[in-house]
């Protein structure tokens, strides 16, 4: 098979992408969504399907439903878990991450992790801006993984 993925293939022109985004801390997650949509557009994905859910804990089951339906090559999960604003920060952050990991391993559909876990709102805003945007980063990871898995699966 030779060497694959040394240079990431981010071409999205032939890919169908879903974005699941949490409404909790919506001021931050809207910025992540904007970043993800911008990166997708840059790489040829015109019209990603976007699904809003209440919070980061609802991201996994929604990603699972989408992955099982099989209509998308990759899923991008976006959320913001901010320590200063919750007593159960660890629970939300860990369960969301574990759930999303489980979905990709159980279904084989790549799920990019665009859930911010930060100490405070300022850190969350700094990672969802125009220059540094975790949503855009997750979008590129989703494209790379969709193309890589397609190559491996033939």
User: Where in the sequence numbering do the catalytic residues fall?
Assistant: 88
Q: Is 25 in the site for ligand INI (CB under 6 A)?
A: yes
Q: Candidates 34, 42, 55, 126: give the one binding ligand INI (CB under 6 A).
A: 55
Q: Find the shortest distance in angstroms from Cβ 33 to ligand INI.
A: 13
Per CB under 6 A, contacts with ligand INI among 96-135 are: none
Angle in degrees, CA 40, 114, 144, rounded to 5: 45
How many positions of this chain bind ligand INI (CB under 6 A)?
16
Q: Rule CB under 6 A: say whether 57 interacts with ligand INI.
A: yes
Per CB under 6 A, 85 contacts ligand INI: yes
Q: To the nearest whole angstrom, how small is the minimum distance from the Cβ of residue 54 to ligand INI? A: 4
């Amino acid at each position: 098979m030779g060497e694959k993925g040394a240079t990431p293939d981010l071409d999205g022109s032939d890919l169908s992408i879903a974005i699941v985004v949490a409404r909790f801390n919506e001021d931050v997650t809207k910025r992540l969504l904007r970043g993800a949509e911008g990166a997708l557009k840059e790489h040829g994905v015109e019209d990603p399907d976007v699904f809003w859910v209440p919070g980061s804990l609802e991201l996994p089951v929604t990603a699972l439903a989408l992955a099982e339906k099989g209509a998308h090559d990759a899923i991008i999960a976006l959320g913001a878990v901010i320590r200063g604003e919750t007593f159960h920060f660890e629970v939300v952050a860990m369960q969301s991450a574990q759930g999303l990991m489980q979905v990709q391993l159980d279904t084989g559909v790549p799920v990019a992790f665009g859930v911010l876990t930060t100490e405070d709102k300022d850190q969350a805003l700094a990672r969802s801006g125009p220059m540094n945007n975790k949503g855009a980063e997750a979008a590129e990871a989703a494209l790379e993984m969709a193309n890589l898995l397609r190559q491996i699966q033939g």
